[in-house]
Amino acid sequence: MSDATRKEGRERGEEWWATEIIEMRPGLIRLRGYPIEDLIGRVSFPAMIWLMLRGELPSEAQAALLGTALGAAVDHGPQAPSIAIARIAATCGVGINSAMASAINVLGDVHGGAGEQALEFFGAIAAAMEAGVPLEAAAADHAARFLAEGGYLPGFGHRFHPIDPRAPRLLALAREAAAAGTVSGRFAAIAEAVEAAVAHAKGKRIPLNIDGATAVIYGELGFPPPLTRGLFVLSRSVGILAHAWEQSQKPDRNKGPLPREWLWAYQGAPERRLPEA
């Protein structure tokens, strides 16, 4: 900004954090234009999330579907790195916010954050379909290219579940929502077509997982890919908080990832000594 156009004094302060989300001054709080006292008691937590992220209130059906996806991913137990880290951190003498932040920091491309890439991938298939490519061909072509380049399709595969029990239920609810006209159902169809294409290409089923299934719903509801990851973080934060809190109520101190009688395999140089001085 040139010196000539640069605002001064109070105007410069107002411009510094200009936002369309909230107005606040003494005695007044408005979110996206709605007085907070009108929202309190009338707007559910999922609807509040939608209002904050999208600027408008959702329909009841949209808010319910968002709440369904958020509820599905809250926890996967202490084998999940995010949950294990929350519990380990809680034994280290840090506050609950620190335990939560430590856990949230590992929700990346491979654990909890894969929905972002999954929705980008589904979006590329949707774009091919808009250009006239039939669903099955678009899914097979994009899956084959992805497998050739990257190997791991985001939103598919699970270390424990031959079929992730959350995914078919979420897809069924996405289809119900499509039948009711709440969403189009296109990302649900794309995810199923990708699963079929990968099964055909690899000769075994690599099932849609929770990151992929929630990405389907968030995409159906019109959220862009990066918010898919953000919404997963909001959802998993519930389990992270529950585990950090439960662990903090126990007497354990400084708890490592394994019982102390189980040590790791040392694979480095054999014992050696420094030369005599």
Burial class (CB in 10 A: 0-12, 13-18, 19+), 238: middle
- Stretch of 28-36, 56-64, 133-141, 150-158 contacting ligand COA, by CB under 6 A: 150-158
Cβ contacts of 237-240, under 8 Å, gap ≥ 24: 237/100, 237/104, 238/74, 238/75, 239/74, 239/75, 239/76, 239/82, 239/83, 240/82, 240/83, 240/86, 240/99, 240/100, 240/103, 240/104
- By the rule CB under 6 A, 142 interacts with ligand COA: no
Select from 110, 127, 172, 180 the one that contacts ligand COA (CB under 6 A): 110
- By the rule CB under 6 A, 207 interacts with ligand COA: no
Select from 73, 89, 114, 171 the one that contacts ligand COA (CB under 6 A): 114
Please identify the residue of the shown chain whose CB is closest to the bound ligand COA.
Answer: 157
Please name which of 112, 206, 106, 113 lies closest in space to residue 153, comparing C-alpha atoms.
206
- By the rule CB under 6 A, 211 interacts with ligand COA: yes
- By the rule CB under 6 A, 236 interacts with ligand COA: no
- Stretch of 182-190, 204-212, 240-248, 249-257 contacting ligand COA, by CB under 6 A: 204-212
- By the rule CB under 6 A, 67 interacts with ligand COA: no
Q: Which residue's CB is nearer to ligand COA, number 43 or number 171?
A: 171
- By the rule CB under 6 A, 155 interacts with ligand COA: yes
Residues in the site for ligand COA, rule: CB under 6 A?
A: 110-111, 114, 151-159, 206, 209-211
